[in-house]
Amino acid sequence: MDLVAARERLSQVPDPEIPAVTLMDLGIVRDLRATDAGLEVVLTPTYSGCPATELIADDVRAALAGFGAVTITLQRVPAWSTDWISAAGRVKLQHYGIVPPQCRAEQSIRVVPRLRCPRCDSGATQQLSRFGSTACKSTWRCIDCGEPFEYFKPF
């Protein structure tokens, strides 16, 4: 079984909610293993009630078509953390207009984010809402350019 080729295919599967990043960028794909029948892919959803979990599993199966049977295993412990977002994923989030987490999860209680606008790079920003389009993001606005943006909160 060619795990390198399978991993390369998985590195192309976009996240259904933020298509600028892949499942690998977000760290949702925890492991890839060869089995006697094909492959086992271990996934950790970004949160236990994620409505996209089934779609993600279907997208993984489709990406790995031709590698034999694909078994999806959901691993919820340890819980997904923004610490698992790759460096490339953080850059992609920023370019997409979502500010990536500014600290590690265990620091989030002590660190007040000083966010820069992902569009104009201004440091003059303000939080509009603790919650954005999903519970893992908050909504901010740039005072200089007036554009709203989301911040991926560390957890």
Helix (H, G, I), strand (E, B) or coil at 28: coil
> Secondary structure of 33-64 in the HEC alphabet?
EECCCEEEEEECCCCCCCCCHHHHHHHHHHHC
In the chain, where does the domain assigned CATH 3.30.300.130 lie? 3-80
Kindly report the pTM of this predicted structure: 0.84
In CATH terms, the fold of domain 3-80 is GMP Synthetase; Chain A, domain 3 (3.30.300)
User: What tens digit of pLDDT does each residue of 33-80 get?
Assistant: 999 989 999 999 988 888 899 999 999 999 999 999 999 999 999 999
